[in-house]
Amino acid sequence: MRRQPRKGMSCAFFDIDGTLVKGFMIQSFPRYLADAGFVNAAHPDQIDEIILNYHSGRTTYREAAETVPYLYAFALKAKDEDSVKSWAGKFMQSYLAEHLFSYSEKLVRSVRGLVDVTIALSGSPHEVVQEIRVLGFDRVYGSRFEVTSGVYTGRVLTNLILGEEKAKLARKLSEELSIDLERSIAFGDTDQDESLLDIVGLPVGLNPTNRLKMICESRGWEWLAKTDLDDIDNVIEWLGKRIETGSIRQNSSPKM
C-alpha cells in the first residue's frame, strides 16, 4: 500500500501596518525618537513629507516603500542598538494601545487556533515589530538595518515593505519550517502585499487600499472591509470552515 506524502504545516502570514495596526510604525517611531531628542528631526520630517505625498496621491506606495527605510536608517546612523531597542519597547507600549484595530487581537489568536504557525511580516523596523509578539505570533519579522559593534551604520539590510522581499522571506521560512503554502493564509492591505498573497492558498485583503482591492477582484481573491471586520466572529467562522473542509482555493465570501 502506497504511503501518502506527509503534508507540511499550515501557516497564517500577517502584514502589520494598515492590516492589524493603524498607521505606519516606520513613520511614527522616528518621530517619537525625534520628540525625545534621540535623533535629529530632519529625517522624520522627510518621512512625514513622503507619507503625506502618498496619501495625497502625489507619489505611489512603491515609491514611498523604496525611500522611507533609507531615511529611517540615516536617522539611526551612529546610534547605539541597545538604546534603540529600549526606546522601541517604550514606544510600542503606548502605540499599540492607541493604534491596534479592535478586531486584531481576536483575529490573530483565533487564526492561531486554525493553523500550525502564525508569522508576522512587517516593513517596519525589526526592533519595533518584535513587540507585536504580544498578540500571539509564533514568529515576527521586520525590516533590518545594519549594526556593527553595537552601532547602526545607516545601511538597510532588508526592506520588507517591498512586496518581493516579503514573499522571498515567506518562501524561505516555508522551506525552513516545512510550511505548505497551499494550505496557508496571508493577510495584507496594500499592493505591495500582492506577491505574498499570490503564493498562499487563501489570500485575503484586509482593509485593502483601492489598488489592492482592484487586484483582489481581478484575481478572485477575498477582501474584507472594515464593516466586514466589525463582525469578526463571522469572519473567523468562515476562515475555520475553509480550512476544515480543505476548500482554501474555493471562492466563498464571508461578507454578509
pLDDT at res. 167 = 96
Q: What is the pTM of this model?
A: 0.90
Structural domain of residue 51, as residue ranges? Answer: 11-244
Instruction: Give per-residue pLDDT as tens, 82-137.
Output: 999 999 999 999 999 999 999 999 999 999 999 999 999 999 999 999 999 999 99
- With b for 16 or more beta-carbon neighbours within 10 A and e for fewer, the 30-55 pattern comes to bbbbbeeebbeeebbebbbebbeebe
Binning the chain into helix, strand and coil, the percentages to the nearest 5 are: 50, 20, 30
Identify whether 219 is part of a domain: yes
Lateral strand order in the sheet of 202-206: 151-158, 139-148, 117-125, 11-14, 185-188, 202-206, 222-224
Using pLDDT thresholds of 50, 70 and 90, give the confidence band for residue 252.
Answer: low
What is the rounded distance in angstroms from the CA atom of residue 71 to the CA atom of residue 156?
10
What is the rounded distance in angstroms from the CA atom of residue 151 to the CA atom of residue 83?
10
Q: How many domains does the chain have?
A: 1
Identify whether 6 is part of a domain: no
Identify whether 254 is part of a domain: no
Cβ contact 195:214 at 8 Å: no
Question: What does pLDDT average to over the chain?
Answer: 91
pLDDT at res. 2 = 40
Identify whether 63 is part of a domain: yes
The three cell numbers of residue 90 are 517604550
**CATH number for position 28:** 3.40.50.1000
Identify whether 100 is part of a domain: yes
